[in-house]
């Protein structure tokens, strides 16, 4: 008997963001070795796009996902850690967004941000999402709609990338 696909929940939406940004970091890494004349500008543009995606993602987690999860689970130390990781990522994002050119320091900041986000994503997938899906008080399907709507609002409010 064929099984029907599982309905997508809030964790699936957040994880889709994780996968999209991971691909962008990989594309950035590929540009770092490029000898194309416009490689530096392409890196600058892509890094700013990564920063926009991460900023919006962090904001929807902080406004909607984390507070709901904090109310639904007993062990909130993981959420505190995730919030600290967000703040550190925001500090790096601010440095990247403030850069005027894609130089060695710029590339290093983007690479470190990618490594940092990779670590954060693993913790979310393996621990936070598992706890969220086990929490009986959470409607992750309704939350997915809320997250999607807020994400769209925030993305529309972002300045266009050059």
CB of 11 closer than 8 Å to CB of 129: yes
Reported as a single tens digit per residue, the pLDDT across 108-118 is: 999 999 999 99
pLDDT in the model for residue 1: 54
> What is the CB neighbour count within 10 angstroms for residue 112?
14
Q: Where are the domains of the chain?
A: 10-157
Which CATH architecture group holds 10-157? Up-down Bundle (1.20)
Distance (Å, whole) CA 134 – CA 128: 10
Distance (Å, whole) CA 141 – CA 102: 40
Inform me whether the pLDDT recorded for 154 exceeds 90: yes
CB of 143 closer than 8 Å to CB of 11: no
Inform me whether the pLDDT recorded for 133 exceeds 60: yes
Furthest-apart CA atoms within the chain: distance in Å: 58
Inform me whether the pLDDT recorded for 5 exceeds 90: no
pLDDT in the model for residue 34: 86
In the chain, alpha helices (H):
10-32, 39-60, 66-72, 77-97, 104-123, 129-134, 140-157
Mean pLDDT, the chain, rounded, equals 92
Burial of 38 (0-12, 13-18, 19+ CB in 10 A): exposed
């Amino acid at each position: 008997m064929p099984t029907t696909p599982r309905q997508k929940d809030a964790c699936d939406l957040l994880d889709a963001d994780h996968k999209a940004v991971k691909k962008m970091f990989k594309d950035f890494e590929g540009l770092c070795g490029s000898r194309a004349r416009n490689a530096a500008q392409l890196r600058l543009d892509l890094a700013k796009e990564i920063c926009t995606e991460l900023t919006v993602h962090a904001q929807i987690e902080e406004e909607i996902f984390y507070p709901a999860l904090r109310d639904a689970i007993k062990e909130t130390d993981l959420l505190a850690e995730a919030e600290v990781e967000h703040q550190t990522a925001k500090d790096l994002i601010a440095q990247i967004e403030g850069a005027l050119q894609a130089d060695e320091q710029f590339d290093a900041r983007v690479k470190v941000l990618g490594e940092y986000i990779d670590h954060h994503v693993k913790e979310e997938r393996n621990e936070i999402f598992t706890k969220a899906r086990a929490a009986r008080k959470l409607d992750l399907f309704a939350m997915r709609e809320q997250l999607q709507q807020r994400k769209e609002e925030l993305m529309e409010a972002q300045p266009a990338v050059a």
